[in-house]
Amino acid sequence: QSALTQPASVSGSPGQSITISCTGSSSDIGYYDYVSWYQQHPGKAPKLMIYEVSNRPSGVSNRFSGSKSGNTASLTISGLQAEDEADYHCSAYTGSSSLLFGGGTKVIVL
């Protein structure tokens, strides 16, 4: 299976909202509500931000939200802050106990 498709970068000014897309297929994102998003700062391990399309783990800011339409999932960051500058990775369950990832999106805070 091919990797999920994410834009290479997305930028925004502090306080703005940005949305990162993650496109898969009818076999993964389109079939299961099992999409997750991870934030990764340079040199650090990924951190879970969203699971099961739109759920936030305890401790994650409510400025982060997730959604899905058809074969595309989205992560929205509202009230963009300097600390949000990082790489963001989407992931989807494929139904065979393996996972697909996107190529990652660099969020740039202008």
Partner 1 sequence: DVQLVESGGGLVQPGGSLRLSCAASGFTFSTYWMHWVRQVPGKGLVWVSRINSAGSSTMYADSVKGRFTISRDNAKNTLYLQMNSLRAGDTAVYYCARVRPTGYYDYWGQGMLVTVSS
Q: In angstroms, rounded to a whole number, what is the distance separating the alpha carbons of residues 17 and 103? A: 21
Contact 64, 75 (CB under 8 A): yes
- Residue 57 sits in the site that holds partner 1 (CB under 8 A): yes
Stretch of 13-21, 61-69, 70-78, 93-101 contacting partner 1, by CB under 8 A: 93-101
- Residue 46 sits in the site that holds partner 1 (CB under 8 A): yes
Q: In angstroms, rounded to a whole number, what is the distance separating the alpha carbons of residues 93 and 17? A: 27
Binding site residues, partner 1, CB under 8 A: 3, 32, 34, 36, 38, 45-48, 51-52, 57, 89, 91-93, 96-104
